[in-house]
């Protein structure tokens, strides 16, 4: 009997199959049908045998639909296994990890409560937005990093003397790690986001980027606002080519086009979220953490 059964939710079926292969686990697929009123009907296509059951499902947009599907699958399979783990490669709501403005709700805490209530015993996620978000889930949770596999991809690109740039102070450690593995240097920009409008501004003064090829490193790119502003700022200072490395490419509201128009040559992300930029596979990072 195999130790693991892997169930792929519809948001992460390809990644789930890769994880299953690496774990030599049985793979079970699921089906999502949508009724005319918008309700989802989720079916698991096989009943899992006694094993550790791993449900793989990222919660990128449509966030709530993908989250509900994950909760539904878990609540079904926990009848057949006392050990149901949720692998949530990209976990939505992680940016709502504190009360920034009065009256706001710490929604990642609610996500944790829902996962626990549905029967999740452990969560595994990749490059979660903050340590606080992980803590707020309040279930045994582990975060693994995709930085090394992302850097390996960039090594093969042979970019001449790249300088690593974090678009904000919060990403300093990430940029430092990326630069250390790539054996190069890094800088950190100062970013301000208006909490009411979401508008982003770069507050840094002059930086030494003239003729340097840059790799902007972030955990996620959503609307692209942060990357666009950072790229415009760096281009004004006569930098060379600009590349973007991120774990989670949400790329909502035509972000890809806006980023390219700002002067970015290429966006490279991982398959925590499927898409054109998802060139880096995190299945080994995930399966190694589960073994
Ligand atoms: C912010 O702290 C994050 O690390 C990202 O920089 C941010 O969430 C990206 O969002 P957007 O692409 O909408 O600027």
Q: Where are the beta strands (DSSP E) in the chain?
A: 4-8, 26-34, 40-44, 52-56, 84-88, 122-126, 141-144, 163-166, 186-188, 191-193, 200-202, 214-221, 242-249, 264-270, 278-280
Spans of the chain, pLDDT less than 70: 1
Single out the residue of 186, 177, 227 nearest to residue 209, CA to CA.
Answer: 186
State the distance from the centre of ligand 1 to the C-alpha of 108, rounded, in angstroms: 17
Q: What is residue 172's predicted lDDT score, i.e. its pLDDT? A: 96
State the distance from the centre of ligand 1 to the C-alpha of 255, rounded, in angstroms: 12
Nearest ligand 1 atom to the CA of 200 is 14
Q: What is residue 1's predicted lDDT score, i.e. its pLDDT? A: 55
Q: Is 116 exposed, middle or buried (0-12, 13-18, 19+ CB in 10 A)?
A: middle
**Cβ of 92 less than 6 Å from ligand 1:** no
Active site residues: 191
State the distance from the centre of ligand 1 to the C-alpha of 192, rounded, in angstroms: 11
Torsional sign, CA 178, 89, 131, 233 = positive
pTM: 0.96
Q: What is residue 112's predicted lDDT score, i.e. its pLDDT? A: 98
Q: What is residue 50's predicted lDDT score, i.e. its pLDDT? A: 86
Nearest ligand 1 atom to the CA of 224 is 12
**Cβ of 8 less than 6 Å from ligand 1:** no
**Cβ of 219 less than 6 Å from ligand 1:** yes
Single out the residue of 119, 64, 60, 117 nearest to residue 88, CA to CA.
Answer: 60
Distance from CA of residue 17 to its chain's centroid?
Answer: 18
Size of the chain in residues = 291
């Amino acid at each position: 009997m195999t130790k693991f059964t892997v169930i792929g939710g519809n948001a992460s079926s390809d990644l789930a199959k890769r994880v299953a292969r690496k774990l030599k686990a049985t793979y079970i697929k699921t089906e999502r049908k949508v009724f005319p009123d918008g309700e989802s009907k989720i079916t698991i296509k096989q009943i899992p045998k006694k094993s550790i059951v791993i449900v793989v499902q990222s919660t990128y947009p449509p966030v709530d639909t993908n989250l509900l599907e994950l909760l539904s699958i878990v609540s079904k399979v926990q009848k057949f296994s006392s050990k149901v783990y949720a692998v949530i490669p990209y976990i939505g709501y992680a940016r709502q990890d504190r009360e920034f403005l009065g009256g706001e709700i710490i929604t990642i805490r609610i996500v944790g409560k829902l996962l626990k209530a549905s029967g999740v015993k452990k969560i595994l996620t990749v490059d979660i937005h903050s340590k606080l978000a992980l803590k707020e889930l309040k279930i045994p949770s582990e975060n693994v990093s995709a930085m090394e596999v992302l850097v390996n991809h960039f090594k093969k690109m042979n970019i001449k003397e790249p300088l690593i740039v974090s678009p904000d102070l919060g990403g300093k450690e990430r940029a430092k790690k990326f630069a250390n593995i790539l054996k190069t240097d890094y800088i950190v920009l100062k970013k301000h986001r208006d909490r009411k409008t979401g508008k982003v501004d770069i507050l840094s003064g002059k930086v030494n980027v003239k003729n340097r090829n840059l790799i902007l490193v972030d955990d996620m790119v959503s609307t692209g606002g942060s990357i666009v502003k950072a790229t415009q700022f760096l281009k004004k200072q006569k930098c060379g080519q600009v590349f973007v490395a991120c774990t989670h490419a949400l790329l909502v509201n035509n972000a890809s086009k806006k980023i390219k128009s700002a002067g970015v040559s290429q966006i490279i992300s991982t398959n925590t979220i499927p898409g054109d930029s998802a060139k880096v596979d995190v299945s080994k990072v995930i399966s190694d953490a589960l073994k």
